[in-house]
Amino acid sequence: MDAILEMRGITKEFPGVKALDNVNMAVRRGEIRALVGENGAGKSTLMKVLSGVYPHGSYQGEILYDGRPVANRSIRDSEEQGIVIIHQELALVPQMSIAENIFLGNEIATRGIIDRRETNRRTAELLAQVGLRESPETKVGSLGMGKQQLIEIAKALSKKVDLLILDEPTSSLNENDSDALLRLLAGFRDRGMTAILISHKLNEISQVCDSITVLRDGATVAHHDGMVEESRIIRDMVGRSMSDRYPSRQPKVGEVVMQVRDWTVADPARDGRLLVKGAGFDLRRGEVLGIAGLMGAGRTELAMSLFGRSMGDWKSGSVTLHGKPADLSTVPRAIRAGLAYVTEDRKSLGLVLDDTIRRNIPLANLAGISTRGVVDRQREGAVARDYRQRINIRSPSVESRTMNLSGGNQQKVVLAKWLFAEPEILILDEPTRGIDVGAKYEIYTIIRDLAAAGKSIIVISSEMPELLGITDRILVMNEGRLVGEMPTAEATQERIMQVIIRSGHDLTDETVTPEEIEAEAAHV
């Protein structure tokens, strides 16, 4: 086999987490290789190792490219060898023109003075190669996602790419743009380029890929030459065994507490795109309700828009609490109505990192530690020490700054903040992301105890075993819609994955026009 790339025994550790564990992968020259796996399986990390985002020396193992060992210290190094990565989040400057973007950092210039004519001529050539009919002078911001993706590819071509890595290139494209992109890739392959395609969409993979590598929990678990059945790939992706990683519980599910109907939220950044499309569900007393889905499915958007419309533009939908219409239009109102939202992004949305544990915990309920606007420091200290002990926040004292705590303990401080606000309904968004196994167990225990105390809990998680382990019922979300619902007792990872992938087949992810939003809003 003529391997263009061989990665041998790649191991990459982050503090407390082994993201990649002895990964092996060889790619043939001139093929399109699919790299699949669940969120957090290590796909992006592996590609960052390859492209020099994580420099040589920060990982173990060796990489052979064109048969020679490589030691990339930066993206620049890898690009010089012809390895180019296009990230899921496009790295284009919207205010600049196509030509300026393509040659950003790589300008055609003599002694610092840009040769605009040559730049435009070369850009026009590159645009012709990717089949994009736009002037090189056009501002990137005025173009749709499909065209922007093509510009990224043109940019890669300008760097004389031999191995192109695409991280979920079609995740924000509609059907037509996706097809065009995939055809383009196939065309490049026929002219000798090699590509690695990271994707969740198995139908796309079967369309263009020559072989598949499956990653799970940071290790290569399967390699298939040629296409295999979807169910086989899904089994490879999720096939871990459930062990006693979850505290046992006897659910006591009571009456319906919250009803959400026809919840629709638009993307303020992009006209006509909906983040959440007509979502509706019930939540019961003492219930732990899971929401499964891939990244970008709209789960956080749903949760944050319910919590005081903190994300997106609310278009339509209603919430009733205990059978009465509820006003959740601002965060203070949502808190007063008994909601709490524990963010997935504790550092930038959950904590005041410069402040101590004591000062962070009462932030959502300052009234609880003050009398007529004056903080009672005794009461504040007592509250902080109580929570520190109760949910086992490991720190020298409550006077420790939250920036000095480990991820798990930071998460517990955020949880404590919301527990002190005494909510009836807690929405936990990725409550165990980036924390170690021991702390996860403790968080699960807290969730169990809260449910036993009659609270209603929504858990959003990308880790399916976690949802299967701690919830009573699971909603499946994909592309802004709730596409499935099942009791946890009947759920398996395969079933959830199937629901997601089937819904991807059925729903054409067309760009919605403003008129359609209006129609949808009027439909209420």
Partner 1 sequence: MSDTTTDRRGDTFGFIRRNIREYGILFALIVIMAFFQVVTGGILFRPVNLTNLFLQNSHIVIMAVGMLLVIVAGHIDLSVGSVAAFVGALSALMIVRLGLPIPVVVVLSLAAGAVIGGIQGYWIAYWKIPSFIVTLAGMLVFRGLTMWILQGQSIGPFPREFQMIASGFIPDLFGPDKPNTLSLILGWGAALAILWLQIRGRKREEAVGIVDEPFAFFAAKNALIFLALVWMTWVLANFRGLPNVFMVMAVLVALYAFVSERTTIGRRIYAIGGNAKAAKLSGINSERVVFLTFMNMGMLAALAGIVVSARLNSATPKAGVGFELDVIAAVFIGGASMAGGVGTVIGAVVGAFIMGVMNNGMSILGIGIDYQQVIKGLVLMAAVIFDVSNKSKS
Residues that bind partner 1 (CB under 8 A): 15-16, 307-308, 310, 331-332, 334-335, 341, 343, 348-355, 358-359, 362-364, 366-367, 370, 373-375, 377-378, 381-382, 385, 394-401, 404-406, 408-409, 417, 421, 436, 438-439
> What is the full DSSP assignment across 228-294?
--HHHHHHHHH-----S-S--------SEEEEEEEEEEE-SSSTT-EEEEEEEEEEETT-EEEEE--
Shortest distance (Å) from residue 444 CB to partner 1: 15
CB closer to partner 1, 360 vs 456: 360
Residues in the chain: 524
Q: Residue 349: which of 395, 397, 308 has the closest Cα?
A: 308
CB-nearer residue toward partner 1: 135 or 397: 397
Angle at 133 between CA 129 and CA 134, to 5 degrees: 115
- Residues 20, 50 contacting (CB under 8 angstroms): no
Axis crossing angle, helix 407-420 with helix 437-452, rounded to the nearest 10: 20
Closest distance to partner 1 from the beta carbon of 234 (Å) = 33
Which amino acid would we find at residue 392?
N
Which helix (H) or strand (E) segment holds residue 23: the answer is strand 17-28
Write the CB contacts of 167 (distance below 8 Å, at least 6 apart in sequence): 43, 44, 47, 85, 86, 87, 88, 198
**Lookup: tokens for 266:** 């638009």
Residue 475: beta bridge partners? 291, 485
Nearer Cβ to partner 1 (336/523): 336
Q: Are 185 and 211 in contact (CB under 8 A)?
A: no
Q: How far apart are CA 487 and CA 477, in angstroms?
A: 15
* Residue 171 DSSP SS3: coil
Q: Which is nearer to partner 1, 40 or 350 (CB)?
A: 350
Nearer Cβ to partner 1 (164/334): 334
Quote the least distance from Cβ 499 to partner 1, whole Å: 30
In the complex, least distance from residue 194 CB atom to partner 1, rounded to whole angstroms = 41
Nearer to partner 1, 196 or 275 (CB): 275
Complex with partner 1: residue 121 or 394, whichever CB lies closer:
394
Helix (H) or strand (E) holding 35: strand 32-36
List the structure tokens of 59.
């990982």
Of 154 and 398, which CB lies nearer to partner 1 in the complex structure?
398
Instruction: Look at the alpha carbons of 207, 211, 217, 218 in this order and tell me if their dihedral is positive or negative.
Output: negative
Q: Of 7, 159, 41, which Cα lies nearest the Cα of 465?
A: 41
Q: How far is the CB of 352 from partner 1 (least distance, A)?
A: 4
Q: How far is CA 389 from CA 194, 352, 360, in A?
A: 55, 21, 16
Least distance CB 408 / partner 1 (angstroms): 6
CB of 101 to partner 1, least distance (A): 27
- What's the maximum distance between 2 C-alpha atoms anywhere in the chain? 77
* Rounded-to-integer distance, Cα 524 and Cα 511, Å: 21
Q: Nearest approach, Cβ of 431 to partner 1 (angstroms)?
A: 15
Q: How far is the CB of 374 from partner 1 (least distance, A)?
A: 6
Residue 211 or 411 having the CB closest to partner 1? 411
Question: What are the φ/ψ torsions at residue 456 (nearest 5 degrees)?
Answer: -105, 135
Q: Cα angle vertex 301, ends 298, 307, to 5°?
A: 145
Least distance to partner 1 from the beta carbon of 396, Å?
Answer: 5
Name the residue nearer to partner 1 (CB basis): 151 or 364.
Answer: 364
Q: Which is nearer to partner 1, 364 or 464 (CB)?
A: 364
Angle, helix 377-390 to helix 407-420, in steps of 10 degrees: 120
Q: Is 215 or 405 the residue whose CB approaches partner 1 more closely?
A: 405
Three-state secondary-structure class, residue 465: helix
